[in-house]
């Protein structure tokens, strides 16, 4: 698996913990970024859904020095952006032009708009994350695998699987897919089960080959461990694996 550099951060070696910043002003976003970094996040997801206009997106990206992934979500993908799909993708193009360290686009976004963004990111050498996202359910495992194969064909720099889990069986499908992703991909990836049933997937997928995962800054977020909790779980389980291999 090749690694990907987001400024000084290398994704593809030790697990990278990502925390989300979401607010409706630049000041609010910068405050959320600071809280994420202070909580120990390695990288910040800049959710630009609620920012009023394009100029705010550009100003924000230029002011954030921490490694970051810029994303803009509509309700379909669990977000708040209410403009057109063309306007949403335009925000991500603006983030690329402003010097974002990475941009995020969903595989199920409008294909021509998605592909133009991927091409623009490749031309500017901006890492691009392509996500297979289903906010309603965990599709059958073979459907997940087929989706990951299709994403691999778009030459992403990072890949994310994020699906709604409502049972232990769904959780197992996410984790089994995480193992398959290690075989199917040559780039860093995340595999996440959304919701309470999927909480364990966030650290466990990293133990199965995932290179990054998403965490909450503060406790109370449904289905999410905090940055500190996730790091603690990863450390404890890694120590146990090392101990077992030494005996």
220-246 pLDDT, tens digit per residue, is 677 789 999 999 999 888 765 544 444
What pLDDT is recorded for position 244? 44
Hey, is 34 helix, strand or coil? helix
Count of C-beta atoms within a 10 Å radius of residue 2: 10
* pLDDT for 62 beyond 80: yes
Q: Which of 33-47, 119-133, 164-178, 208-222 has the lowest mean pLDDT?
A: 208-222
Global confidence as pTM: 0.95
Of the CATH numbers 3.40.50.150, 3.20.20.70, 3.40.1550.10, 3.40.50.920, which one belongs to the domain with range 4-246?
3.20.20.70
For residues 14-32, average pLDDT: 97
Q: In the chain, what are the domain boundaries?
A: 4-246
- In b/e form, how buried is each residue of 74-99, taking b as 16+ CB within 10 angstroms? beebebebeeeeeebbbbbbbbbebe
What pLDDT is recorded for position 245? 47
Triad 213, 162, 47: Cα angle to 5°: 70
* pLDDT for 217 beyond 50: yes
Q: What is the DSSP letter of 103?
A: E
* pLDDT for 70 beyond 70: yes
For residues 147-176, average pLDDT: 98
Q: Which residues 6+ apart lie within 8 Å of 141 measured at CB?
A: 173, 176, 177
The percentage of residues in the chain with a pLDDT greater than 70, rounded to a whole number, is: 96
Spatial distance between the Cα atoms of 49 and 29, rounded to a whole number of angstroms: 11
For residues 123-141, average pLDDT: 98
Spatial distance between the Cα atoms of 100 and 86, rounded to a whole number of angstroms: 19
């Amino acid at each position: 698996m090749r690694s990907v550099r987001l400024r000084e951060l290398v994704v593809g070696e030790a697990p990278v913990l990502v925390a989300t910043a979401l607010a409706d002003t630049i000041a609010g976003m910068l405050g959320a970024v600071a809280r994420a970094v202070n909580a120990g996040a390695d990288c910040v997801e800049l959710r630009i859904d609620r920012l009023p206009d394009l100029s705010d997106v550009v100003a924000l990206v230029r002011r954030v020095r921490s490694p970051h992934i810029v994303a803009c979500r509509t309700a379909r993908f669990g977000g708040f952006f209410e403009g057109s799909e063309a306007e949403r993708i335009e925000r991500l193009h603006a983030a690329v032009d402003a010097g974002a360290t990475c941009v995020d686009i969903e595989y199920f976004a409008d294909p021509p708009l998605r592909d133009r963004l991927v091409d623009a990111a490749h031309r500017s050498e901006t890492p691009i994350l392509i996500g297979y996202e289903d906010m309603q359910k965990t599709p059958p495992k073979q459907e997940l695998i087929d989706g990951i194969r299709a994403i691999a064909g778009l030459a992403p720099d990072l890949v994310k699987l994020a699906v709604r889990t409502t049972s232990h069986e769904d959780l197992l499908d996410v984790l089994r897919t995480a193992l398959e992703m290690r075989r199917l991909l040559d780039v860093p990836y995340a595999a996440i089960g959304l919701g309470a049933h999927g909480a364990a997937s966030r650290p466990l997928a990293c133990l199965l080959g995932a290179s990054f995962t998403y965490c909450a800054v503060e406790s109370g977020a449904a289905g999410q461990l905090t940055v500190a909790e996730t790091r603690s779980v990863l450390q404890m389980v890694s120590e146990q694996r090392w101990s077992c291999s030494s005996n």
